[in-house]
Amino acid sequence: MAINKRTYILPKGTEPTAEVISDLLGSVKRTQEVKKYDLLEQYYNAEAITQDNSHKEPLIAVTAYSRYITSLNCGYLLGNPVTYNASEGHDIEKIQEAYDAQKIQNIDIKLENDASKFGHGFERIYINEDGDCRSAAIDPRSVVLVRDNTVEHRKMFALIYVESVDEKGEVIDGEYELTILTRDKIMERKLQGGSLVGDEKGDLSHVFSDVPVVEYINDDDLIGDFEAVLPLIDAYNILQTARVNDRLKTANALLLVSGGNLGKEQVDAIMEGRIADLPEGAKAEYITKTTNEQESETLRISIADDIHKISMTPDVSDKNFAGSASGVSLQYKLFTFEKHAKDKERCFEAALMERFALYNAYLNRTANMEIIPTAKVDAVFQRALPQNDVEVAGMINSLVGLVDKETLVSQLSFVNDAKEVVEAAEAEEDRKDEKAFKMGGFGTFGDGDEEDTENDEETPEDAE
């Protein structure tokens, strides 16, 4: 578990008392953290903002680079839903059914989107009114997950909170509606005047055997995918704004008349009719600032290249990126992107295993499901990239007998559920064999046996 400025560590055994909660929610650390989240959200939404307001002109050309980086990373990692394989002898069907019932892949996308934007995302696991285990993505600005100070940094409790509002809908300073989640309880409270208000009789026990909140980290530093390139995005937006402003100023340039004077009527005639009737010897010309467009374009390309390089996100619009490049050539171009995706996958899979264990603990108590060690379960990620299915099919044929059918079939881009496809293929093969058997003049063993019995006649020799 990564320990940095966005991780909350308290001594082992600390209870979520009013004092502890007040210190957490009112700390300078939390205030600065939420402000940072808000800033990252503004960049993601491509709002006209920079990290500082030192530039003189307001931004009018703002690019959605942050959204591009997040969308491409999320789509590459989770464009195809995560699948799960268990070691032989372990049945995960009940957990898979719980996942399928709520379209868990949609929640995975939300969690990865938060991780890409904010550096980490949070999932709450709960029991709905029908008694089913369910998951929900929680905004990181509304969650504080507290870990102990041991070497394992185990979860102690989580706070899910919103600011209290009055009858007019205005925020009440220092008051929060709280859900406190511990390793065995769920408590609803209100933090008011530094005290916790609420009826302890309404506290609920749960059977998850751990705090039912899972943290999905983006990397070991808990840094979002575009957070490191915010200054470059600022530079790009400022440059583009300056270029647009130069064009606007050129279109509204001042007209300099020398060698004569123009009256108001003459000026109006020039502005409306675009024809100048100047006195003899007079000369008119626009006052414009000379700009080197080629230098501006070179600078723009340089900044854009740095954004893609530092964020390890390829520019898929680059004419040299795809084309008719071979699979190996494409892999070289995606090397840093794939390495970054591998790091994200490693972190995401660890959180998925936490989720699996929580679901497993609940179903063990309620549906007699066996406890399956997470070491016996694999989360399978399949990259969302254009594939040459002809090449993949050739690779599959060469591996028949060496790799199981489900793994091979899952490599095909048009297959969503490899297990279902393999079962359907086996069923179709059985039907073909049965049809061929019948067309060959062979009846079933039972039918032939009955016909022989009916046609048999007792002979004198048999009677004797």
pLDDT digits (tens, 9 = 90+) for 352-381: 999 999 999 999 999 999 999 999 999 999
Q: Are residues 144 and 176 in contact, defined by beta-carbon separation less than 8 angstroms?
A: no
The predicted pLDDT at position 360 comes to 96
- Looking at residue 294, its pLDDT comes to 85
pLDDT for the residue 365: 93
Count of residues in the chain: 464
Residue-level pLDDT at 73: 95
Q: Which residue has the tokens 């007792």?
A: 458
User: Which residues of the chain register pLDDT less than 50?
Assistant: 1-2, 444-454, 460, 463-464
- Other CB atoms within a 10 A radius of the CB of residue 13 amount to 8
Q: Which pLDDT score, from 0 to 100, does residue 429 have? A: 80
